[in-house]
Chains A and B, each alone.
Chain A
Amino acid sequence: MSFLIPDIFVQMILYAVLTFFLCISLFVSSRVIFHWDFSNTSEKQYLLEKQTYLVSVLMKYAFAINIPAFLIFIYSNDKLSAYLTGAMCAAGVLNATVYGKYLIIFKIINLYLSAVWLTVNHFDTRLETMPYTTVKFRMIPMLFATFCMEGTLFIMHFASIDPAVPVSCCNVIFAEDTSVLRMFFSEHAVSLFAAAFILTSAAFLLKRPVLYGAANILYAAAGIAVLIYGVSPYIYELPTHKCPFCILQSGYGYAGYWFYIALFGGTASGISAGVQTCISGKAPKRMITVSMVCNCAYLLLCAWYPASYYLTNGTWL
């Protein structure tokens, strides 16, 4: 498939810019890791401080752009489904090559890593002594590796798509009996989600920020599972249609975007708050509150569709 399709081309440019920024950051991070000493007043240290400031600004914007870029990625995949035989939504496009599945996994991982880095950067720049500079620059090599992996998978995925070859639709991809893991998730999605919500709420009420961060990882996974297997059939009003991508289409009022924004907003800030507490020993209370509000909003969104379906039709799917 051609890289000159506007949606893909835009993302290629984003990858190029991000890679360029990451290369600069990687170079500076290697110097920070080995030579950073804030108490030093030498020319070398001052130069390093200037460079870290520049890199922090570059990466802040690069990672901040990466978050809406994920939505562009999903939206463009959804649009491309019109050109692939058999595809009904982004799921079909992502399943068109062996790389698609890993690409979306890396994208999600990078999305959360970006959020964590932005949080550490935010707290670092709020303090005069820049105490977390080494921590955030130690994260750069890992981010560089995962972003390079994502970029490579992106190129390989879109280079390998053959529009002439029919692909599976989401109904086949998210069928319950295709793997043991899927069977487990489909059967226990609601219970898992309930358990994850109880755990996050308990950690929130008991003021355990590290546990809250960890609970949010579980909440993110359980949240996706419950959306696919528990909630989406009520949005589609079809018990056999279980797909996390079709809900992003206009036919369903773009409802999926609200689900994903609430889930990502809640879990990313929750995980970031946990990491921040581990690093600084001080819990970012406002961030945890925002996270809990988003998590509650996600829960309400998930409850809304089945409840309104039941109230209208008097039956569960």
Chain B
Amino acid sequence: MIKFTSVTKKYKDVTPLENFSMDIAAGETAILSGRSGSGKTTILALAAALTRPTSGNIEVNSKQTAKLPEEFASLFRRESVGIIFQNYNLMPNLTTLDNVTLPLLPTKIPFRQQRERAFALMEKLGIADKAKTIAGRLSGGEQQRIAIARALINNPPVVLADEPTSNLDAKLTENLLEIFAGIKAEGRTLLIATHDKVVTESGIADKIIRTEL
């Protein structure tokens, strides 16, 4: 499902990833573990086709994503990948509902169906009562759940989460792990980048990949 073969990513002066390989099967949950700056976020960005590698091959959901032209990369992201960003990347002036349905805007799914799907997800994540609230006014934990709902709204087979617990307290971390267990139970492939021991030791992962160079 997610396969990196000898992937190198170089920026001007930094090489966060050099000759990196990994293989995560469909339905597996993997944790990318490593210190800050060890290339965890870069791996997620590469898996989501948000950036291209300097060399090497990447295959996600049976698609060679390393060579995808930008137009096809955005289509791939829309159909195959849900991303939970470290800082959530929500639209702070939009309501919860609008943020969750945002990825559906370019699709041809009828508006009513979009709302139904969004409400079902928000219900599941316990934020349905905040549907009309402006996202910027919500707490960190609630914003995180909006980000998760937004990542799942397109029903992606692959979910990527970047340091999902970095802004959460112990209670919210526990809640989040439950949500992740639910995502895993749905048969989705989950890749979590984290340096939080609570997550790595929670037993949620089928595989732990160390990114230390």
A contact set with B: CB distance below 8 Å: 38, 41-43, 46, 49-50, 53, 125, 128-130
Q: Please report the C-alpha to C-alpha distance between residue A42 and residue B57 in the assembled complex, in whole angstroms.
A: 9
Contact call B68/A43, Cβ cutoff below 8 A? no
Nearest A residue to B56 via CB reads A41
Interface size on B, residues (CB 8 A): 15
B52 adjacent to A46 (CB under 8 Å): yes
Task: Kindly list chain B residues whose C-beta atoms are within 8 Å of the C-beta of A128.
Answer: 67-69, 72
What are the 5 tightest A-B residue pairs by CB atom distance, in nearest-first order?
A43-B55, A41-B57, A128-B72, A43-B54, A42-B55
User: With contacts A41-B55, A46-B66, A128-B67 known, what are 19 further pairs, Cβ within 8 A?
Assistant: A38-B67, A41-B5, A41-B6, A41-B53, A41-B56, A41-B66, A41-B67, A42-B55, A43-B8, A43-B55, A46-B54, A46-B67, A49-B67, A50-B52, A125-B71, A128-B68, A128-B72, A129-B67, A130-B69
Inter-subunit contact A125/B69 (CB<8 Å): yes
Task: Please give the residue numbers on chain B whose beta carbons come within 8 Å of chain A beta carbons, in ascending order.
Answer: 5-6, 8, 52-57, 66-69, 71-72
Per the bound structure, the CA–CA distance linking A38 and B57 in Å amounts to: 12
Residues on A with beta carbons closer than 8 Å to the beta carbon of B5: 41
Residues of B within 8 A of A41 (CB): 5-6, 53, 55-57, 66-67
Are A46 and B69 touching (Cβ within 8 A)? no
Residues of A within 8 A of B52 (CB): 46, 50
Within the complex, what minimum Cβ distance (angstroms) separates B23 from chain A? Answer: 16
Chain A residues whose CB sits within 8 angstroms of the CB of B67 once the complex forms: 38, 41, 46, 49, 128-129
Cβ of B66 to closest chain A Cβ, rounded Å: 7
**Nearest CB to that of A124 among chain B residues?**
B69
Contacts A/B (CB < 8 Å), 27 sampled: A38-B67, A41-B5, A41-B6, A41-B53, A41-B55, A41-B57, A41-B66, A41-B67, A42-B55, A43-B54, A43-B55, A46-B52, A46-B54, A46-B55, A46-B66, A46-B67, A49-B67, A50-B52, A53-B69, A125-B69, A125-B71, A128-B67, A128-B68, A128-B69, A128-B72, A129-B67, A130-B69
B4 → chain A closest CB, angstroms: 11
Most buried by A among B6, B8, B69: B69
| Nearest CB in chain B to that of A38: its residue | B67
With both beta carbons as reference points, the residue of chain B lying nearest to A56 in the complex is identified as B69
Give complex CA distance A130, B66 in Å. Answer: 13
Q: How far is the CA of A46 from the CA of B55 in the complex (A)?
A: 7
For the complex, what is the distance from the CA of A157 to the CA of B19, rounded to whole Å? Answer: 58
B94 to chain A, nearest CB (A): 32
